[in-house]
Amino acid sequence: MNDDRKKAEDSEALPALPKYLSEALDLKLISQGAEALVYFSKAHPYLPATLSSDVIHNSPISPAGYILKFRPPKPYRHALLDAQLTKHRTLSEVRSLYKMMLAGVHVPMFVAVDPRQGLIWMENIDGPSLKKWIWGQEEEIEKKVSDEDSRLTMREQTVKPTLVAVGHEISKLHFMDMVHGDLTTSNLVLRRKDDGSLEPVIIDFGLSQQSTLPEDKAVDLYVLERAFISTHPMHAEEYITWLLEGYLAGFGQGKKTAKFKAREIMKKLEAVRLRGRKRSMVG
């Protein structure tokens, strides 16, 4: 089977987008998961493309394009139940996203939603995932220096500031009693600011929920720790240390109850780690 035929068959196998989108916009499928399909588009969902640069600069138009997240119908569920679940989950994700935007957490800018169709439009973050960026830094450092002490120094100069910033961003999320639910190095994207520094952006709030429980936030951190161990096993320990350094320094930003909450989360994190180790030993 040639590649063109395979692509055509794969495209036909995908759940159909609403016609008002698929016929009007040039959409490119970039990710397919169990719950949703993710598309990229250069077009804004309702604003015309022919606007002046001044208008674009002061409006929700993203020069990096847009992400369209689509929750397709599930044929194995009753149609009425499926419609209710799709609407509920779509609105829940949008509320989480919007709440974090208002709180100053770096998340994609929300643009539009069609809950009945399971559609969310949001800003596309133009930058690499944390996972890909760290891989790139590690490769570059290995090429430049040969001894491990020098490599550690370079990682402290390049990787550490970014991981401290990532930890700080996650602390803002948790202090607002929001749990991400799928906090991995792929769901953290680095956007370059005007001054050249990297700004971490948290994406994909499909599994997010409100929770005041320290254990839920500890599980969030543990999932991220496991992602580091899986994708960056050689330096995972130091990466996790730097991330938690930023997390603890940024948690609550000096508010009275912040230190107590942070200590409780760290205690629960130790307990979650212990459970994880026991599970690994038992198999």
Q: What is the mean pLDDT of each run of 10 residues along the chain (283 residues)?
A: 46 68 81 89 75 48 84 91 95 94 92 93 93 96 92 95 97 96 96 88 94 97 97 96 96 84 96 80 51
From the list 182, 194, 195, 216, the catalytic residue is: 182
Is 182 part of the annotated catalytic residue set?
yes
β-pairing, 119-123 vs 178-179, is unpaired
CATH 1.20.1050.10 fits 130-275, yes or no: no
C-alpha torsion angle, residues 73, 74, 78, 81 (rounded to 10): -60
- Among residues 199, 198, 204, the alpha carbon closest in space to that of 180 is found at 204
pLDDT at 186: 95
Instruction: Return the pLDDT at 257.
Output: 83
Distances in whole angstroms, Cα of residue 86 to Cα of each of 38, 70, 97, 112, 126: 15, 10, 17, 16, 28
pLDDT of residue 1: 44
**In the chain, where does the domain assigned CATH 1.10.510.10 lie?**
130-275
Q: In what order do the strands lie in the sheet with 37-41?
A: 28-32, 37-41, 66-70, 119-123, 110-114
Instruction: Confirm or reject CATH 3.30.200.20 for domain 2-123, answering yes or no.
Output: yes
- The DSSP code for 129 is B
**How far apart, in whole angstroms, are the C-alpha atoms of residue 55 and residue 225?**
42
User: What is the model's pTM?
Assistant: 0.87
